[in-house]
A = this chain, B = another copy of it.
Amino acid sequence: MNDTFLKACRGEKVDYTPVWIMRQAGRYMKEYQEVRSRVDFLTLCKTPELAAKVTLQPVDILGVDAAILFSDILIAVEAMGMHLEFSDKKGPILGEPARTKAAVDKLVIPDTEDSMPFVLETIKILRRELADKVPLIGFSGAPFTLATYIIEGGSSRNFSHTKRMMYQNPGLFNALLEKITATVIGYLSAQIRAGAQVVQIFDSWAGILAPYDYEKVIFPHVKTAIKALKKLDVPVIYFANDCPGLLEIVKKSGADVIGIDWRVDMAHAVKRLGKKVVIQGNLDPCVLFGTKEYIEERVQEILGKAHTAHGHIFNLGHGILPETPVESAIAMVEAVHKYGRN
C-alpha cells in the first residue's frame, strides 16, 4: 500500500508530498454523475456499495494518495433527530431548526452502529477494496459547523440565528455544542473502529467568528473532540475554513494536521502555525480553471513555501467545484508528485 499520506500525517519523512482533494468524489467527474443520475444524493450516501464506488473513482482516475469516505457532514445531524433533505437549488434543508431549549433537549446523541450503519459498512467495503492502494480518511463536521446547520436550518448568509443564540443564550448554546461534540466523538470513533485510518474534522464555518468568540466558546469543544479521538491512535486532521484570523489558536488544537483554506499565504501559515503541526492545503479551487502550465506554477509556489513546514499534505483550500475540468485536477496531482518534497 502507498502509505505516503499516513506517514505525512504523522510528521514522518516522506519521498514526495502526498495529495488528495476535498470533495474529490463529486459532480466534476462524469463517472460520479453516472452513478448519481440513478439515485438521489442521500440515497447515494446511504447505499454502501454505491458510496464505496464513488469513493474509489478519484483514487483510480486522479491518482491521489488518499481516499475519503463519500458521505455528508449532515448525516450525523439527521441521526441526532433532525429531518434532512437536499434541494438541488437551495442545498441542505433541515426541518424545524433548533433554537430553543426544548428543541435542543430533543436532539439525541446517536449510536452510530444503530443509526448510521451504512457509513460503517461503506468503510468496511472500502478497506477491502483499498487494501493495496491508499489509506482511507473518515470524517465529520466540527461541533460549531454542525451547530450552525442545526440552528439556521441550512446554509446562511450572516449566521445571525447562530450568533444570536451564542450571544443571548450562551448556556443553551454551550449545551448544544456539548451534545454535538459527544456525537462527533462517537461517530468518528465508530468510523475508526470500522477501519478509517485517519479522520478529518471539517470546520467549514469556523471563519465566520471573531477570534475572541472562536477561542472562548468554540475551541474548547474542538479540543475535547480531538483529545478523545487521539486515544484511538489515528492521525486527526482539523480543517478550519476561512482560517487566517485563527491560526495562532488552531495550532493548539491537538490535531496532527491543520488544514488551511486558500485565503492565507502558505509562507505565513508555516510561520504562524509553527513547527509542531503538519499543514494541509491550500490552492484556491478556482486555480483549476486555469491552464495546465498555470496550475503547475501555482502548485510549485505552494510547495516551495511549505517546504520548511514540519510536514505538508497538498490539497485545495476548499472542496473542488462542480464545474472543474477533471484534467485540471489530474494536472494538479501530477504537478504535486513531480515537484513535491523528497
Contact = CB atoms under 8 A, between A and B. Distances in A.
Interface of A: 158-160, 163-164, 166-168, 207-213, 242, 244-245, 248, 262-265, 268, 284-287, 289-291, 294, 298, 301, 317, 321, 323
Nearest to A215: B265
Contacts of A208: 263
A242 B207 CA distance: 9
A323 to B, nearest CB: 6
A160 B325 CA distance: 13
Contacts of A211: 263-265, 268
Give the number of copies in the complex: 2
Contacts of A262: 210
A340 to B, nearest CB: 19
A167 B264 CA distance: 18
8 contacts: A158-B321, A160-B289, A160-B323, A167-B289, A209-B263, A210-B317, A212-B298, A244-B245
Given A164-B286, A168-B290, A210-B284, 18 more contacts: A158-B285, A158-B286, A158-B321, A160-B289, A164-B289, A167-B289, A167-B290, A168-B291, A207-B263, A209-B263, A209-B284, A210-B262, A210-B317, A211-B264, A212-B298, A212-B301, A244-B244, A245-B264
A222 to B, nearest CB: 17
The 3 closest A-B pairs by CB, nearest first: A244-B245, A163-B286, A167-B290
A244 B261 CA distance: 12
Nearest to A164: B289
Contacts of A213: 284
A201 to B, nearest CB: 20
Nearest to A248: B268
A75 B146 CA distance: 38
